[in-house]
Chain A
Amino acid sequence: MPVLTDAPPTDLVDPTVDDLAVPATARELSDAERARLFEELVVPETDVLWRVALSITRNRADAEDVVQETLLRAFRSLGTFDGRYPRAWLLTILRNAERNRHRRRRPELLSDPEMAEDLGPRTESDEIEVAAEQQEFTDFVAQAVEQLPDGFREVVDLVDINGLSYQEAADVLGVPIGTVMSRLHRARRRLRESLVPAGFGPAAPSELPAAADGHDEEVGR
Chain B
Amino acid sequence: MSDPTQGAVPGGDPCADAHVDCAEVLRHVQDVLDNNGDVEVLVQWTAHLRACPPCGAELEVYERITAVLRERQCCCPDDVAARLAEFGRRICAGDEPVS
A interface residues with partner B (beta carbon < 8 Å): 31, 34-35, 38-39, 42-43, 46-47, 50-51, 54, 60, 64, 67-69, 71-72, 75, 119, 137-138, 141-142, 145, 156, 160-163, 166, 181, 184-185, 188-189, 191-192, 195, 199, 201-209
- Most-contacted residue by chain B among A34, A38, A161, A209 (CB, 10 A): A161
Q: Which of B1, B73, B99 has a CB less than 8 Å from the CB of A72?
A: B99
**Cβ A160 vs Cβ B69 within 8 A:** yes
Q: List B residues at the A interface (Cβ < 8 Å).
A: 1, 3-5, 8-10, 22-23, 26-27, 30, 36, 54, 57-58, 61-62, 64-66, 68-77, 80-81, 83-85, 87-88, 91-92, 94, 96-97, 99
Label chain A's interface by main secondary structure.
helix
- Known interface pairs A64-B80, A202-B1; A188-B30 also in contact (CB < 8 Å): yes
- Check A204 against B58 for contact (C-beta < 8 Å): yes
Q: Are B74 and A54 in contact (CB under 8 A)?
A: yes
Residue of B with least CB distance to A165 = B34
A-side contacts of B23, CB under 8 Å: 205, 207-208
Are the CB atoms of B8 and A205 closer together than 8 Å? Answer: yes
Contact A46 B88 (CB under 8 A): yes
Pair B62/A192 contact, Cβ less than 8 Å: yes
In whole angstroms, what is the CA distance A46 to B83 when docked?
11
Question: Secondary structure of the B side of the interface?
Answer: helix
Report A20 CB to chain B, min CB distance, Å. 10
Taking a contact as CB atoms under 8 Å apart, the answer to whether B70 and A163 are in contact is: yes
Shortest CB distance B85–A (Å): 7
Partner of A160, one of B9, B66, B87: B66
Of the A-B pairs whose beta carbons lie under 8 Å apart in the complex, a sample of 28, sorted by A's number, is A38-B91, A38-B92, A42-B88, A43-B88, A46-B76, A46-B81, A50-B76, A50-B80, A51-B73, A51-B76, A54-B74, A68-B84, A72-B96, A119-B74, A137-B68, A138-B71, A160-B70, A161-B69, A161-B72, A163-B73, A188-B65, A192-B65, A205-B5, A205-B26, A205-B54, A206-B5, A206-B9, A207-B8
The complex places the Cα of A73 from the Cα of B22 at a distance, in Å, of 50
Q: Within the complex, what minimum Cβ distance (angstroms) separates B92 from chain A?
A: 4
Most buried by B among A160, A163, A199: A160
Distance in Å: Cβ of B4 to nearest Cβ of chain A: 5
- In the A-B complex, the 9 residue pairs with the closest CB atoms: A35-B92, A160-B69, A50-B76, A205-B5, A205-B8, A47-B76, A141-B68, A75-B91, A185-B30
Residue of A nearest to B91 (CB): A75
User: With the chains together, A185 CA to B29 CA distance in Å?
Assistant: 10
